[in-house]
Amino acid sequence: MNNKNEKKETQQPNEGQENQSGIVQKIQQLGQSNVAQAPDSNVHVLTIIGQIEGHVQLPPQNKTTKYEHLLPQLIAIEQNPKIEGLVILLNTVGGDVEAGLALSEMIASMSKPTVSIVLGGGHSIGVPIAVAANHSFIAPTATMTIHPVRLTGLVIGVPQTFEYLDKMQERVIDFVVNHSNIKEEKFKELMFAKGNLTRDIGTNVVGTNAVDYGLIDGIGGVKEAMQKVNELIDKNKDMDEQVIQ
Amino acid sequence: MILYTPLSQEDIFPTANSSYNNRQFISYEGRSVYAEQMEDGSYQLLQLMSTDPQDFLDEKFTPGSILS
């Protein structure tokens, strides 16, 4: 508010100077003076980065994706008639199982076309999120670590906790098997493989292998994902028209 | 003290949590943003929480900009 008044008062003598300082400020902020402008997009982008944060708030050094931020956004995307498709960008190290499953179920139950791209890494609980989309892509250099669900901290009632964890793992496996082309046996084999990870059981699946196993639908990046989402949007529109007729 | 270790600096001397105390999620022009309150009381945008890719081309929401 104050700034505006000041601007008005000093507009004429300082106009040139102010213009220049505006550019300087922009360069300080962005490292460049101009940013491209474009019309409204019918495809929205959801980035899932760092840790998937669930019931426990993580220390601030961690980069996290908070599921309570994403769930309402997914509803908003579903409801907004101007948004026709969704691209999900994944570069995550995993995190809370139930938060990850919540996101996966939300994405899987959307009526609008969804396409996911795994960039860098889509580890652990990132796997169900990646396969939750209608079509999934993985960058050739990206990896997905598949390993059993684990727990750290104090455990009260070992057999019960073990059973609980086992059920939780079963939910993850079921979700992945139901939403991708991988066979349950193959996924479990990857999950419990020995000798692949230095201090753990599991497998680090690289881009092309993930596609070979049927876990991910294709190798690709932005271009392929945008092509696919537009193709799915067109298909959706055709279906709607048929229903109307 | 001389350290000779493969651990990173951050593992041995973690950043104090208090240095993140002035960071918070706030609502700005209808969008949720993660911003840091600076010494003069103004907010500097750190991260924009939006699914609209066009928002990221909006100068108002570029990281580092001062919220007014």
Q: What is the pLDDT of residues A27-63, one digit of tens each?
A: 666 666 565 555 678 999 999 999 999 888 888 888 8
Collect all residues with Cβ–Cβ distance below 8 Å to B31 and sequence separation of at least 6.
Answer: B48, B49, B50, B55, B61
**Given pLDDT bands bounded at 50, 70 and 90, which one contains residue A242?**
confident
pLDDT tens string B17-51: 788 888 999 999 888 999 999 889 899 999 998 88
Q: Which of B22, B44, B50, B51 to mutate to test the interface with A (most CBs of A within 10 A)?
A: B51
Interface contact B17, partner A, CB < 8 A:
yes
Q: Residue B18 has what pLDDT?
A: 81
Chain A CB within 8 Å of residue B24 CB: no
Structure letter (DSSP) for residue A155? -
Lay out the sheet containing B31-37: strands in order across.
B23-28, B31-37, B43-49, B66-67
> In this complex, is the C-beta atom of B6 within 8 Å of any C-beta atom belonging to chain A?
no
d(CA A112, CA A82): 11
Mean pLDDT of chain A: 86
Section B45-64 average pLDDT: 89
Of B32, B34, B41, B39, whose CA–CA distance to B68 is shortest? B41
pLDDT digits (tens, 9 = 90+) for A94-148: 999 999 999 999 999 999 999 999 999 999 999 999 999 999 999 999 999 999 9
DSSP code, position B30: T
> Hey, CA dihedral for A192, A195, A198, A204, is it positive or negative?
negative
Facing residue for A30 by CB, picked from B10, B49, B64: B64
Reported as a pLDDT band with limits 50, 70 and 90, residue A10 is very low
In this structure, are residues A217 and A137 in contact, taking their beta carbons and an 8 Å threshold? yes
**ipTM of predicted assembly, 2 dp:** 0.75
**What values do phi and psi take at B40, rounded to 5?**
-85, 5
Residue A180 has pLDDT above 90, yes or no: yes
A135 catalytic, yes or no? no
Residue A206, phi-psi category: left (phi > 0), alpha (psi -120 to 50), beta (remainder): beta
Domains of chain A (ranges; CATH) run: 1-37 (no CATH), 43-237 (3.90.226.10)
Q: Where are the domains of chain B?
A: 22-67
- Closest B-chain CA to A83: B52
Chain B residues whose beta carbon lies within 8 Å of the beta carbon of residue A75: none
The per-residue pLDDT for A185 is 94
Angle between helices A2-9 and A11-30 (to 10 degrees): 130
How would you classify residue B21: left for phi > 0, otherwise alpha for psi between -120 and 50, otherwise beta? Answer: alpha
pLDDT given for residue A11 in this prediction: 44
Q: Does B29 touch chain A (CB under 8 A)?
A: no
Catalytic residue among A104, A116, A123, A124: A124
